[in-house]
């Protein structure tokens, strides 16, 4: 489902390893998956300014997918985006 993915995605964007590990526990992630997501998180942290500018485009592409829109509907998608913005402090 989209919402758990967005929570995990927000944890990657946050730069917080603690938050990332908490989200990964919910998915029972393997050691390899954990390392892979740590690397992705590091990439976001290394070019923070550039990635902050890209985040809205990435998020828009995900939430505008036909699967998410048909499953959640526009009002729920807005709620998800508001929730993630609050989590990221934006």
Distance between CA atoms of residues 52 and 72, nearest Å: 25
Number of domain units in the chain: 1
pLDDT digits (tens, 9 = 90+) for 52-79: 666 667 767 776 778 777 777 777 777 7
Summarize pLDDT for 1-26 with one digit per residue, the tens.
567 777 888 888 888 999 999 999 98
Do 80 and 63 meet the contact criterion of CB atoms below 8 Å apart?
A: yes
Q: Supply the pLDDT for residue 52.
A: 65
Exposed e or buried b per residue across 63-73, where buried means at least 16 C-beta atoms within 10 angstroms of its C-beta = beeeebeeebe
Domain that holds residue 44: 2-88
């Amino acid at each position: 489902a989209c919402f758990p993915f967005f929570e995990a995605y927000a944890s990657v964007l946050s730069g917080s390893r603690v938050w990332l590990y908490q989200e990964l526990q919910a998915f029972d992630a393997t050691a390899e998956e954990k390392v892979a997501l740590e690397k992705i998180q590091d990439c976001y942290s290394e070019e923070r300014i550039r990635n902050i500018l890209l985040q809205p485009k990435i998020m828009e592409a995900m939430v505008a997918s036909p699967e998410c829109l048909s499953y959640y509907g526009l009002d729920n998608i807005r709620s998800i985006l508001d929730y993630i913005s609050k989590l990221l402090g934006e």
